Structure 1
Amino acid sequence: MLSGKVALITGSTSGIGLATAHVLAEQGINLVLHGLMSDVEGQALALEFAERYQIKTLFDNADLRDADCIARFMDRAITSLGTIDILVNNAGIQHTEGVGSFPLQKWNDIIAINLSSAFHTIQHSLPGMRENRWGRIINIASVHGLVASINKSAYCAAKHGIVGLTKVVALECAEQGITANAICPGWVDTPLINNQISDIASKNQTSFEDAKYQLVTAKQPLPEMLDARQIGEFVLFLCSDSARGITGSALPMDGAWTSQ
């Protein structure tokens, strides 16, 4: 059913996005890859996917802070591959600081990349999905789309916004064969978290693994991080016919974080 469809994944050159790209490509889904790479590096990654999985691929490093760049990116993707059947809004950035001193530019960038870019990509994808009477919109939110943590005002605002946007899109598209859902992960084992773990280990004079345990269990009862591929596999399930009745949901993958 999914082989030959086209998926666009923002932030798909590392972490959750890259793992999701591999999971979808294994099913014969054509890919639009996006991320912070040079054109040369991105084209090499796209070629690697195309040859490994025998699919069509495209790479773009559009600046998601810029609505005009997103429009050009989406137009290029649709022109090159015909449509966007599956949209995974995964790209995100983070900055932690108290509200009183939070830098304005950091706020603007986080809201633009983590929230507004999803609005723009959805808006450009919907005409084709509506014409085909089929579409899957999956927004990678966060446990912080459901609860808050100190020093994460912009991130929490953006992720709560993603959850709200997801619900509205689901309502508007419920009769058109299009589903929209938000996945809300807790801790995910990606290279981006390693510096934070190393800082805890150094501060507490403990091992990396002990520091990792301390970081995770401070908020999350399940004492382990998700593997990024697990999120990719959940994305794949949400694309399947079995999940056609799941829409407008904020779906935690948070080790019981939000059950407390």
Structure 2
Amino acid sequence: MLKKKRALVTGSTSGIGLAIARALHAEGAEIVLNGLGDPDEIAALTNEMNATFNGANLLDPSAIAAMMEEIGPIDILVNNAGMQFVSPVEDFPTAKWDAIIALNLTAPFHTTRLAVPAMKQKGWGRIINTASAHSLTASPFKSAYNASKHGIAGFTKTIALELAQTGVTANCISPGYVWTPLIEGQIPDTMAARGLTREQVINDVLLAKQPTKKFVQPEEVGALAVFLCREEAGNVTGANWSIDGGWTAE
């Protein structure tokens, strides 16, 4: 279905980004991976998907420009790389604010502006931005993350309108809590810090806002990304797709 399509997925060496990359690869897309991780593990992923890898630091606009020039024209751009930090606003480190905005919001601007010309020339393209339930609602102590994810939702809508008659679509995917090794690794520390059982941490802390009381699975996000790349989704643009167990329905 996606044969002869080239896809760049940022933050794709683990978690949601890796699931999206695998899902697109399974549909025939040629994958360019980007992210952090152990070199041997990254090499294994490139072998698994017959992919290429570019380790550009997305906090650096010049590195992004060099990456986009090196990999050449792409048909699918998935802006997935992101970071988080939790602190009251009066104590929020300014360097953390700058880094979160740079990675979560400014990097997608740079990759998008550099990918769009070739997409427009071909008359086909898919831009998918990994937002968050926090693009639609807010949580305390996450000022930079909330701001960046609200920002990426607005950016996506703007790009969708600009490209509406070009054959290029732009959409957000907004997951709630996704079951990843990062989330799983937080459970023992939270159990110890709060004196809770594993089940209490999962149901009363991590999934407190998800009515289904189920984690989103990375493969579910990957499947949604595949749908947005299908020809049948050619008229789906400017949308923010919630996949959050009902979190933002309340």
Query: Which category describes the TM-score, using the shorter chain as reference length?
Result: over 0.9
Offset from partner CA, 1:116-161 (integer Å, 9 cap, x none) = 0000000111011001000000000000011110010000000000
Superposed counterparts of 1:196-211, under 5 Å: 196-211=186-201
Partners of 1:194 and 1:23 in 2: CA distance: 22
**Separation (CA, whole Å) in 1 of partners of 2:210 and 2:102:** 28
SS state at 2:7 partner: strand
TM-score relative to the length of structure 2: 0.96
Partner of 2:143: 153
Aligned to 2:10: 10
Structure 1 residues 193 and 217: CA distance shift in structure 2, 3 A = closer
SS where residue 235 of structure 1 aligns?
A: helix
Determine if the alignment matches structure 1 residue 27 to structure 2 residue 27.
Answer: yes
Secondary structure of the structure 2 residue equivalent to 1:189? coil
Identity of aligned residues (%): 47
**Residue 42, structure 1, aligned to residue 42, structure 2:** yes
Question: 1:43, 1:58 within 8 Å by CA — same for their partners in 2?
Answer: no
Q: Structure 1 residues 192 and 40, CA, compared in 2 at 3 Å: closer, same or farther?
A: closer
Q: Which moved more, 1:69-78 or 1:186-195?
A: 186-195
Partner of 1:97: 87
- Given the alignment, which residue of 59, 62, 65 partners 2:56? 62
Contact kept, 8 Å, 2:177 with 2:207, in 1: the verdict is no
Aligned counterpart for 1:235 among listed residues 220, 225, 230 = 225
- Aligned partner (choices 92, 106, 121) of residue 131 of structure 1: 121
CA distance in 1, matches of 2:22, 2:129: 17
Deviations 1:160-204 (A, max 9, x none): 000010000000000000000001111100111124322332234
Q: CA deviation at 1:41?
A: 4.8
Give the whole-Å Cα distance in 1 for the aligned partners of 2:92 and 2:191.
26
* Amino acid of the structure 1 residue aligned with 2:52: L
* Cα pair 2:20 2:222 within 8 Å, conserved: yes
Q: Deviations over 1:63-110 (max 9, x none)?
A: 1000000000111111xxxx2101000000110001000001100110
Per the TM alignment, residue 216 of structure 1 is displaced from its structure 2 partner at its CA by 3.6
Instruction: Within 5 Å, give how 1:179-190 maps onto structure 2.
Output: 179-190=169-180
How many angstroms apart in 1 are the aligned matches of 2:38 and 2:151?
Answer: 30
Task: Find the counterpart in structure 2 of residue 53 from structure 1.
Answer: none
Contact 1:187 1:254 in 2 (8 A): yes
Find the residue that maps to 2:59 and give its secondary structure.
coil
Read off the aligned partner of 2:13 and give its amino acid letter.
Answer: T
Measure how far apart 1:38 and its partner are.
5.7
SS in 2 for 1:226: coil
TM-score (norm 1): 0.92
Question: Aligned residue pairs: how many?
Answer: 250
Q: Conserved in 2, the CA contact under 8 Å of 1:42 and 1:60?
A: no
- SS of residue paired to 1:8: strand
Unaligned runs of 5+ in 1: 51-56
Q: Deviations over 1:210-242 (max 9, x none)?
A: 311112442121101011010000000000012
